[in-house]
Amino acid sequence: QQPVQSPQAVILREGEDAVINCSSSKALYSVHWYRQKHGEAPVFLMILLKGGEQKGHDKISASFNEKKQQSSLYLTASQLSYSGTYFCGTVHGGSQGNLIFGKGTKLSVKP
């Protein structure tokens, strides 16, 4: 039950904002967010636990909507360094095992 990410790709100018969504058809325990730059390994950004919390990381924040089984990643005042592919990974109820990753959202920030 791979989570569905949207949009698949987004192009921004420096300073613009973006939202990336991650939805699951199964009940979620937690959601992870990672960023992967071309040719590099994914890098952990943050983890959201069920409970509708919101977390921040510099100008990157995320929320978890337990009712909708959805998480959203917010990138504000984007910088060139934000470019990359963003993946959400989901942990489902009752499982403390592996993450299931979405297909990713490619973010390109232009000067």
Partner 1 sequence: DTGVSQDPRHKITKRGQNVTFRCDPISEHNRLYWYRQTLGQGPEFLTYFQNEAQLEKSRLLSDRFSAERPKGSFSTLEIQRTEQGDSAMYLCASSLESTVYYGYTFGSGTRLTVV
- 40 binding partner 1? (CB under 8 A): yes
With CA atoms as reference, report the closest residue to 86 among 53, 63, 111, 108: 108
Look at residue 35 and give its three-state secondary structure.
Answer: strand
Q: In this structure, are residues 43 and 35 in contact, taking their beta carbons and an 8 Å threshold?
A: yes
Q: What whole-number distance in Å separates Cα of residue 103 and Cα of residue 75?
A: 19
Burial group, residue 53, by CB count within 10 angstroms (0-12, 13-18, 19+): exposed
Rounded least distance, CB 14 to partner 1, Å: 25
- 30 counts as binding partner 1 under rule CB under 8 A: yes
To partner 1, the closest distance from the beta carbon of 53 in angstroms equals: 13
Count, residues near partner 1 per rule CB under 8 A: 26
Interface residue with partner 1 among 51, 67, 81, 96 (CB under 8 A) is: 96
Which of 11, 43, 77, 80 lies at the binding interface for partner 1 (CB under 8 A)? Answer: 43
Query: Which residues contact partner 1 by CB under 8 A?
Result: 2, 29-30, 32, 34, 40-44, 46-47, 49, 87, 89, 91, 95-104
